[in-house]
Amino acid sequence: MAKNLKARYRVVGPKREKVEYTLCSIDDATGSLQQKKMEEEMECYYVFFPRGHSIRVTSKEKLVELGYHIKPRVVDMDTGDIIDIGGDLYDFGDGSATNENIVLSDDIDDPKPAKRRTADANA
């Protein structure tokens, strides 16, 4: 019987793209909330999970803070057991590692790909 093994997550990036966000501040004179729409070009990473969820992380520092800078462990999707593979640091710097080298399982080859929504992990 074949086991259903997948990486806990897959990181794609970095990609430079424009990110829209709302800059909030308190006005000192009135004490009211001020909101301003901002757009900035940022280095973005996308983290994909085996069940079809994904998040966008807008800097390498936030990627490290969330712990997605490390190669993921492999999980048996039927039992939830962690297989002792992975855990090495990604090689983002020298360009020798490609995104195909990062994927430890066939989580891309889903027979019916789920719709993916991306949420920002900026907080």
- Give the CA-trace dihedral at 97, 2, 55, 72, to 10 degrees: -50
pLDDT of residue 122: 56
pLDDT of residue 75: 78
pLDDT of residue 86: 56
If one counts every other C-beta atom within 10 angstroms of the C-beta of residue 44, the result is 20
> Tokens standing for 84?
């002792």
Distance CA 5, CA 28 (A): 55
pLDDT per position as a tens digit, 87-103: 555 544 444 444 444 44
**pTM of the predicted model, to two decimals?**
0.58
**Placement of tokens 């969330």 in the chain:** 66
Residue ranges, the chain, pLDDT below 50: 91-113, 123
Instruction: Quote the radius of gyration of the chain (alpha carbons, Å).
Output: 18
